[in-house]
Structure 1
């Protein structure tokens, strides 16, 4: 074998037809394009998958938001202005709890308007109609309603009531809620518990004050009211027991020996007759 035959030949590389090289390059390009397409499809699938999972969550969230937890406040017609304060608190509670369910601030403003009727509706409608849509917010509406219907002297009246009221025969279960209402109307935000306790004690019956003498008074107003209710229950039960005992107890009685009035009368008659007989004899 000659040395020429032992040397590697470049004929196999150089002799590759041009058309074959072009085919190989095209094939490589197709493979690269296929990989790019697969990657793009994979990314789209991932995005669709994430969107599919997000839809139920969003739907569930919207369902929860649409559910209202509090009932609609009663209509306010200004037939009794003393009810405005309680209606106002009820409306504010509704907006605080279910405001998201009702919608935007403008929607909440129209919601308040929808709970007005009769004379209130007539007096409030001009302001609502003239107001710019952006200003029809719950805060602005409630402020205007306060101007129209809130009792400006309510605080002073409540203070006078607290200073003069006495429990007397009013049951404690009725008296304490009334007392609490007047404290709120009088503006108790800055009052300390000891002030409210002192005012309440001044109004209590003497019987409850006696029971408090031997008690360790609670230092908080809420705790003191609970303590009073417990004492009042005990006093009521004690009265019931005492009254029940009086109904069933019959004291023993001794029947006195009847006097013989007839015999006494006979003795008296005989004595007179005897005296008359002696006078006649003389």
Structure 2
């Protein structure tokens, strides 16, 4: 049986105490013990605060806490080597942006899995805990009461004198159920240009001794039939795509017809494992 030192017992008690605390107000969790540091999580009133870190240190008025993994984070493509290993010391951010909150840095020995691509960024799943910081709760919280919003009943009945329902000025006609909505050609073009989510199995179209397809990758249905090519030029780091072949993925992008064919191609803006 292992006997713990008094200091270890005290740390365990402190961890359990903070972990059992309930937030009395909205409590931001910061990446650093500074009020101006980015917020990575907001604990709502009534939710449990993160457990205290037995190893992390913080200045007076702050507490180091543990955010348990795994964490979905983003790393720059330039910080990934040819063998798809993340370079130690690379910044791991909460969003695929240079000004996004840096939650931690990648350390030698960390376990991480590539889960998606987002332009110049690679999405990873970091399998370890992360240290963050909570400011002391002794400062009084500013309470603001949201105004009460009242909703009027919706009715199709015409306005009549003496009723409590205000008349509707120039009401927009609603389409009848089962009938198509009238749209102009520009409306249809605008709607078609909107990005959408598509799901399917990623497949390579490159086959030895056969003519090359217009695009090297495609999405397939469950029965193996291709329903769209994939234009991956916006992802930049295309050498990682090989890891996703024959796996179900979700892509986000704009679908458009391939000129002079009946095929469809999706201009992919992001790609993630299902």
Q: TM-score, normalised by structure 1?
A: 0.19
Please identify the structure whose Cα radius of gyration is greater. Answer: 1
- Higher relative contact order, structure no. (Cα contacts within 8 Å, ≥ 6 residues apart): 2
- The structure with the largest helix share of the pair is 1
Q: Which has the higher strand share?
A: 2
